Amino acid sequence: MKAQEIIRSIEAEQLKTNLPDIQIGDTVKVAVKIVEGGKERIQPYEGTVIAKGSSGLTKTITVRRIFQGVGVERVFLIHSPRIDSIQILRRSKVRRAKLYFLRDRVGKATRLKQRFDRPLT
């Protein structure tokens, strides 16, 4: 029992508190820290959240975007030190927990209806 308490206390120190309330269907901009040689820079990754997974320190979001006509998905550990910030740009109205059906759609068919009843922050 004592080991679990130690693990929880260590995880609690690692958890980020300044994260927005991210929902499925949100269009987000994730600022990722990239290390190239000795330099570090921040690269934005903008796309739609199609899935959320796990909980606690291992909480993840899957973000999908179209880059040069090809769908690209990235899974982000949101409490990772590599994630600088997450900004919500747009909220969408969805009726599913996972938006995997967007993988089969192309062009205008991938649009989601915008939602105005929740604030962006």
Residues composing the chain = 121
pTM, to two decimals: 0.88
- Tell me if 14 is assigned to some domain: yes
Instruction: Show the domain range for 74.
Output: 2-110
What's the pLDDT score for residue 1? 67
Q: Kindly state whether residue 121 falls inside one of the protein's structural domains.
A: no
Which of helix, strand or coil describes residue 102?
helix
Q: How many domains does the chain have?
A: 1
- Residue 79 covered by a domain: yes
- Does 117 fall in a domain? no
State what percent of residues in the chain have pLDDT above 70.
98
With bands split at pLDDT 50, 70 and 90, how would you rate the model's confidence at 9?
confident
In this predicted structure, what is the pLDDT of residue 68?
A: 92
Residue 24 lies in a domain: yes
Q: Give tens-digit pLDDT for 45-91.
A: 999 999 999 888 899 999 999 999 899 999 999 999 999 999 999 99
pLDDT recorded at residue 24: 96
Q: Is 119 inside a domain boundary?
A: no
Is 116 among the domain residues?
A: no
Rg (the chain; Cα; Å): 16
Structure tokens at 41: 């820079």
CATH number at residue 89: 2.30.30.790
Alpha-helical segments (H) within 15-108: none
Each residue's pLDDT tens digit, 11-51: 888 888 889 999 999 999 999 999 999 999 999 999 999 99
For residue 79 the two structure tokens come to 């409490």
118 within a domain of the structure (yes/no): no
